[in-house]
Homo-oligomer: A and B are copies of this chain.
Amino acid sequence: MMTSSPITIEALVVLDAIEFRGSYAAAAEQLNKVPSALSYIVQKLEEQLNVTLFERQGRRSVLTPAGKHLLVEGRKVLSAMNTLSEQTQTIANGWETKISIACDSILDITPVFSVVGCFLEEHQNIEIDVQEEVMNGSWEALIEDKVDLVIGAPAPVPIQKGIRAIKIGELQQVLVVNKNHQLAQIKQPVNTLELAKFRSVVVHDSAQHEIPRTVNIIEGSRHFYVTSLNQKIAAITAGVGIGYLPKDLIQSLVENGELVIIALVDELPPQDLFIAWKITNKGKGLLRLRNLLSSHFS
């Protein structure tokens, strides 16, 4: 006879709120409860688990290591629960109540939003949640069911069955530097090996669990890590280092002279960009959205 875990969803929600808001009082307000109700729920959990989760420090309660662990892992469970109920409703109704999209930050998001706008016009009661990811971060989000659709994820498509990807365009990346950078003085085209001398600006992969992949990282050179494409542009513009950027994105900065495009002996081939989804995902909204995207981008 397998005795089920004493942890309830309710309790995890309460734990989450207490940590998030910083006090029982504030958490109670958020949950439309009264502080004593939370006290009751926490105590029940502590008793059934036989573990103290909060240590009272003065008039403030602070999580014990065990409590912290329960919270951190519990939040993952809560998130899984949310996607589970979304998925269940989607299967039952055919249409989803919410569609989550990951957009790779390498992509200009404006035309995507205009298509999404059309979709929302058609389907007033579907919510859309867009998040920005970098490189493997978008694939990871798809694989882990954090999103239903990724837009603009770069090749290679993960070798994993159950993922369908179609190309929606390609992106020409060029090497750019600040106008005063040493590299701007050298006569072009430059050999790729020469680049090893300079510090390069790299966007840190947003993937958390998968082995981060790095493309276009200039081998052997020193790196400067940033966490978004905008930071990368800013860093290069500020002269911190060199790096590859999408040609379209830096057009204006090149025109006003801030950035200089460096010609290479071996020009990078254009990078393929994909939209991708799981074939197990049969949602009608997803299908419709994909069709809209395909017809706007080809």
Contact = CB atoms under 8 A, between A and B. Distances in A.
Interface in A194-228: 196, 204, 208, 220-222, 224-226
B208 A225 contact: yes
B84 A7 contact: yes
A77 interface: yes
A252 interface: no
For the residues of A in contact with B, the DSSP-based class is helix
Nearest to A51: B92
Nearest to A2: B82
A64 B282 CA distance: 13
Contacts of A84: 5, 7, 70, 73-74, 77
A178 to B, nearest CB: 18
Given A5-B9, A10-B8, A82-B5, A51 B224 contact: no
A295 interface: no
Contacts of A87: 69, 73
Nearest to A204: B222
Contacts of A85: 5-7, 49
Interface string A175-207: 000000000000000000000100000001000
A13 B4 contact: yes
